[in-house]
A and B are shown apart, each in its own frame.
Chain A
Amino acid sequence: MGMTRNIGAATIDGLAYLGGLTRLAGGTTRAMFGEIFRERRLPFRRAIHQAMAVGVDALPILSLISFFVGLILALQAAYELRNLGALQYVADGVAISVTRELGPLMTAILVIGRSGSAFAAELGTMKVNEEIDALETMALDPVRFLVVPKFIAMLIMMPCLTIWADAMGVCGGALFGVTSAGFTFGTYLHATMNALMLRDIVTGLIKSVMFGLVITLVGCQEGFKTGLGSEEVGKSTTSAVVTSIFLVILVDLVFTALFYFGATG
């Protein structure tokens, strides 16, 4: 009886959370399009500021991580491929896994750690300091003022970061290919290009946009939900990271399945 009740309560909480995310998404979209139709300028200056923080500042660490992931993938693939005498397929393996899956996913996880947590902490601190209330009392919609710039920045930067991560992953694979699998950099790139279809890259990019959406919404929702006191900001930040990672994986699963059955069915 107790367990049934707990499962029921958890389901209701989960649905309520998703409902909250949907409402925030709706509010953000309305605020964005409302601005466009009322011929008011979108908050581009703040969006650019956010895009710098979300995107440009993440490049060094993202490059390093994706490069290493590409290299690791090449090493793991080579381990089996060598036994089959098919070492030349390392480039194909790395290219496909990076562009379809690991590029978008590693980017998302890094962005969650850097920006999703920062969104929750920023909005949470603003909530605790009554800055969100201050915005409301100044007749400024907190969603328009705070969420829309982050939303725009994420929707633009996530695909860009993902393409960059894809490229860096391929470079990581190339390091192995050139040093241990008899490729030159040119032949490795050529093999990569042959292995890839535009579809591989596009599905990865579509996923990355969805991840960006999830990360922004969860980060902002957790920030807005912050209770009173600085301890609550820490809790919101943790919760934003954990929930975002979970939802990103879930979205990844849904879209990968859609693409799979869409392509085969």
Chain B
Amino acid sequence: MSIDENSSQHEAPPFAIEVRDLRVSYGEREILHGVSFNVRAGETMVILGGSGSGKSTLLRTLAGLEQPSGGEVRIRGKNLQTLSREGWHELRTRMGISFQNGALFGSMTVGENVALPLREHTKLDRSTIDIMVRLKLEEVGLSGYEDYYPAQLSGGMKKRAAVARAMAMDPEILLFDEPSAGLDPIIAAGIDELLLKLKQAFKITIVVVTHELASAFLIADRMILVDKGNIVAIGTPDEMKASTHPRVRQFLDRVPEPEMEQELDYLQLLTGQVVPQRQ
């Protein structure tokens, strides 16, 4: 091991996540047009944005599920593009991800779902894993549901179980895709409370992608507004509330898009690029 690698392991990097000029494309279509931001260790960063803004792509790229076409992403100081197989393995055991619909394994019980990373990545014996699973489920308010299958749980419970699974390896970074989408306001508030509790109890870095304003303002230390693949604004909830940027105002004040009068306007809305008017 080189000296550099040694020192980077001992000195905590100033930022848990660093994103520099990140570009991501699906085929010919560029979804993210060079976004840059940092997430400090222990901070809760909320990525806000409308449907199709690129916010989920951004989260998937942080999780290593999409390949950037340009720029770089560093997590815990490590560049994702140059990471070795072992490096990925190590990083992923320190990161937890909760997917929009939970993505629990349907053929396993909730307990087995939570136990899976522990069984695969640790040498703990069965009874210790059982105790840990029970603790994790208790943290998310699902004690006693070990033997239920995901299909037997409600939407909110599935999300909680997914959080328990993401927390199984005691990650330093937790990524959330739309934690409250499709849930009624009371259940959604419960999930917000759970996130706040996890943050206070474990001091983990949390990145949440959402379009729910109430939830975003409640849990965020800082927030980013993504629009058409670009970052429009970044700041604390108070700074966002005070922002005069027209797109931020439109999003926060929930102003609908103006009627499209011409096809070129619609094209511009979809692509985010100004289309030159033909004479």
* Contacting pair B89 A139 (CB below 8 A): yes
Residue contact A139 to B97, C-beta cutoff 8 Å:
no
With A131-B103, A131-B104, A137-B97 known, 20 other A-B pairs at CB within 8 A are A126-B106, A129-B101, A129-B103, A130-B103, A133-B63, A133-B65, A133-B99, A136-B64, A136-B65, A137-B63, A137-B95, A138-B92, A138-B116, A138-B117, A138-B165, A139-B88, A139-B92, A139-B117, A140-B116, A140-B120
- Which B residues touch A129, using CB under 8 A? 101, 103, 106
Closest A residue by C-beta to B121: A139
A46 to B, closest residue via Cβ? B107
**Which chain B residue lies CB-closest to A144?**
B120
Classify chain A: how many residues form its interface, as a range: 10 to 19
**Contact flags (1/0) for B78-96 with A, using CB distance below 8 Å?**
0000000000110011010
Size range of the interface on B? 20 to 34
| CB-based contact B64/A130 at 8 Å | no
A134 beta carbon closer than 8 Å to chain B: yes
In the complex, chain B residues whose CB is within 8 Å of the CB of A136: 64-65, 92
Question: In the assembled complex, how far is the CB of residue A19 from the closest CB belonging to chain B, in whole angstroms?
Answer: 20
Q: How far is the CA of A125 from the CA of B106 in the complex (A)?
A: 10
13 A-B pairs with C-beta separation under 8 A:
A126-B106, A130-B100, A133-B103, A134-B105, A137-B63, A137-B97, A138-B92, A138-B116, A139-B88, A139-B117, A140-B116, A140-B117, A140-B120
Residues of A within 8 Å of B99, CB to CB, are 130, 133-134
- Chain B residues with Cβ below 8 Å from A138 are 92, 116-117, 120, 165
Specify the chain A residue showing the minimal Cβ separation from B93. A139
Contacts of B121 in A (CB 8 A): 139
Contact yes or no, B92 A130, CB < 8 A: no
Which A residues have a C-beta under 8 Å from some C-beta of B? 125-126, 129-131, 133-134, 136-140
Interface majority SS on B: helix, strand, loop or mixed? mixed
Assess whether A131 is in contact with B92, with CB atoms less than 8 Å apart: no
Selected from A131, A134, A140, the residue in CB contact (under 8 A) with B97 is A134
Tell whether A137 pairs with B105 under 8 Å between CB atoms, given A130-B99, A130-B100.
no
User: Shortest distance in angstroms between B239's beta carbon and chain A's nearest beta carbon?
Assistant: 31
Complex CA–CA separation, A137 to B89 (angstroms):
9
Cα A218 to Cα B117 with chains together (Å): 28
Q: Smallest CB-CB separation from B60: which chain A residue?
A: A133
Of A130, A133, A136, A139, most B-chain CB atoms within 10 Å: A139
Contacts of B63 in A (CB 8 A): 133, 137
B103 x A134 contact (CB < 8 A): yes
* 10 closest cross-chain pairs (CB), A and B: A139-B92, A134-B103, A130-B103, A137-B97, A130-B99, A139-B89, A131-B103, A138-B117, A137-B63, A139-B93
Q: Is the CB of A131 within 8 A of B105?
A: yes
**A residues in contact with B116, CB < 8 Å:** 138, 140
Interface string of B104-146 (1 = CB under 8 A from A): 1110000000001100110000000000000000000000000
Q: Give the distance in Å from the alpha carbon of A129 to the alpha carbon of B120 in the complex.
A: 22
Asked whether, in the complex, the Cβ of A137 is within 8 Å of the Cβ of B101, the reply is no
State the CA gap A139–B85 with chains docked (Å): 10
How far apart are B246's CB and chain A's nearest CB, in angstroms?
Answer: 33
Task: For A43, give the chain B residue with the smallest CB separation.
Answer: B120
Which residues of B in the span 18-66 have a Cβ within 8 Å of any Cβ on A? 60, 63-65
Q: Which residues of B contact A140 (CB under 8 A)?
A: 116-117, 120
Beta-carbon contact of A137 and B64 below 8 Å: yes
The interface residues of chain A lying within 8 Å CB-to-CB of B92 are 136-139
